[in-house]
Chains A and B, each alone.
Chain A
Amino acid sequence: MNRFCFAALAAGLAALPALAHHSFAAEYDSSAAVTLKGTVTKVEWTNPHTYVYIDVKDANGNVVSWGVEGYPPNTLRRTGFTRGLMKEGDVVTINGWKARDAANRIAARDVTFANGNKMFFGPAAQ
């Protein structure tokens, strides 16, 4: 039912800009889902989007910094994700979609903290 409600809502409002000021598809690739696990190095609680930077070890053991785009701070606040919940040094797992320009950059959907708490961090892919 919950899933249905969200799907119905998303379908009805599909023409609206979920990211407030730019389209998802112009910047991110909804077919390039990715899960990143790493350590938070920086949090930018800014508009029009929040950004979190995490250090992730690649297959060769090299540490690569990824930029993660999320909802604006006001939207996160209203969904319960308050400023200060995610801090430098936190180990997090983030689901999202890669940027089309192949930079180490994703649009996040959710963040899971080390204690298992999972929070929305950005809109669904469109």
Chain B
Amino acid sequence: MRHLLVGLVLAALPALAQSKIPRTADGHPDFSGVWQGGGVSLYGEVSGNTRATAAVAKGTPPPTPAAKPEPLVFKDELETKVRAGAATAAIDDPTLKCLLPGVPRIYGMPMPFEIVQTPKEIVIIFESFHAWRRIPFGGKHDDPDPSFMGDSIATWDGDTLVVDVAGMNGKTWLDGRGHFTTEQTHIVERYTLNGDTISYQATVNDPTTMTKPWMQRYNLTRLKEGERPLEYECIENNQDVPHMQSRAPGGRGR
């Protein structure tokens, strides 16, 4: 009898350890909620504001910056093209024209996004550029037409949500410094839930441009209950481009 009790307690320990994070009825971590990655404009003012903001509670510590990104190294023969893109980034960065930022760059945008999780799929609604991702569990990439946000498939690796992204269209940049994607760009994302933070890690590989896979990390922070993505129609009043094209460093000049 004593052995049975000990056995039951031991069996219950992993469940107790796992109880710190919210879980769905089928036992997987529940990522549902509203989150934010990049956030200077949202969080940067919290410490300076005497009030709590609408999005985060008063006294909320700023999110811990993710690890410093690894250098993104392209093949030597492509460095000229990358440098040219970086030199004219003030004009040619696709996001400046309000085009979708792609994966993983969208997680660095200073706007929230909502994750809706069901047993069959993950849906992510981004405020940024009103992007969305519909990520089914299982299946395979079925010759998708290339797109800015790619084609995504989810699987579980224990408690880590793994998303495989293919079908990128090569019209996005991985950063603001000219490192472009191609239709061969392949991304594996890993989402690990730690209470009110998601450790996000994306491994990007493209044998046509990169000498080795590149990893990007973000700490995604949960926003207050009731916060939600709002409309962001980037092209509504985009006045910046003509000013940047005039005399900006690297611009075309007048």
Contact present for B40 and A48 (CB under 8 Å): no
Known: A26-B249, A80-B49. A18 touches B127 (CB 8 A): no
What residues of A have a CB within 8 angstroms of the CB of B96 in the complex? 21-22
Q: Is A58 engaged at the interface, CB distance under 8 Å to the other chain?
A: no
A78: contacting residue among B53, B176, B235, CB under 8 A: B53
The answer for the CA separation of A44 and B109 in the assembled complex, in Å, is 22
The answer for the CA separation of A120 and B128 in the assembled complex, in Å, is 21
The answer for the CA separation of A49 and B238 in the assembled complex, in Å, is 7
The answer for the CA separation of A3 and B47 in the assembled complex, in Å, is 7
Interface residues on B, range: 35 or more
Q: Which residue of A lies closest to B67 (CB)?
A: A12
The answer for the CA separation of A18 and B41 in the assembled complex, in Å, is 6
Contact present for A100 and B247 (CB under 8 Å): yes
B40: contacting residue among A18, A44, A49, A103, CB under 8 A: A18
What residues of A have a CB within 8 angstroms of the CB of B40 in the complex? 9-10, 13, 16, 18, 123
Q: Is B69 engaged at the interface, CB distance under 8 Å to the other chain?
A: yes
What residues of A have a CB within 8 angstroms of the CB of B240 in the complex? 21-22, 27, 48-49, 69
Give min CB distance, B68 to chain A, whole Å. 9
The answer for the CA separation of A57 and B108 in the assembled complex, in Å, is 40
Contact present for B243 and A103 (CB under 8 Å): yes
Q: Which residue of B lies closest to A126 (CB)?
A: B40
Q: Which residue of A lies closest to B56 (CB)?
A: A78
Q: Is A5 engaged at the interface, CB distance under 8 Å to the other chain?
A: yes
Q: Is B79 engaged at the interface, CB distance under 8 Å to the other chain?
A: no
Contact present for A78 and B44 (CB under 8 Å): no
Q: Which residue of B lies closest to A2 (CB)?
A: B47
Please provide the chain A residues from 76 to 102 with a CB less than 8 Å away from any CB of chain B in the complex: 77-80, 99-102
Q: Is A125 engaged at the interface, CB distance under 8 Å to the other chain?
A: no
Q: Is A35 engaged at the interface, CB distance under 8 Å to the other chain?
A: no
Contact present for B243 and A78 (CB under 8 Å): no
Q: Is B42 engaged at the interface, CB distance under 8 Å to the other chain?
A: yes
A-side interface residues, number (CB < 8 Å): 48
Give min CB distance, A73 to chain B, whole Å. 8
Q: Which residue of A lies closest to B129 (CB)?
A: A21
Q: Is B250 engaged at the interface, CB distance under 8 Å to the other chain?
A: yes
Give min CB distance, B148 to chain A, whole Å. 14
Q: Is A56 engaged at the interface, CB distance under 8 Å to the other chain?
A: no
Please provide the chain B residues from 47 to 78 with a CB less than 8 Å away from any CB of chain A in the complex: 47-49, 51, 53-55, 61-66, 69
Q: Which residue of B lies closest to A4 (CB)?
A: B47
Can you show 21 pairs from A to B with CB atoms below 8 A apart? A5-B47, A10-B44, A12-B64, A13-B39, A15-B108, A16-B39, A16-B108, A17-B108, A23-B90, A26-B244, A26-B250, A48-B235, A51-B239, A72-B232, A79-B42, A79-B49, A100-B247, A101-B243, A101-B246, A120-B48, A123-B44
- Given contact pairs A18-B40, A51-B237, A100-B246, a sample of 4 additional A-B residue pairs in the complex whose CB atoms are under 8 Å apart: A49-B239, A77-B230, A80-B53, A123-B44
Residues of chain A having any CB pair with chain B under 8 Å: 1-3, 5-6, 8-13, 15-23, 25-27, 44, 46-49, 51, 69, 71-75, 77-80, 99-103, 105, 120, 123-124
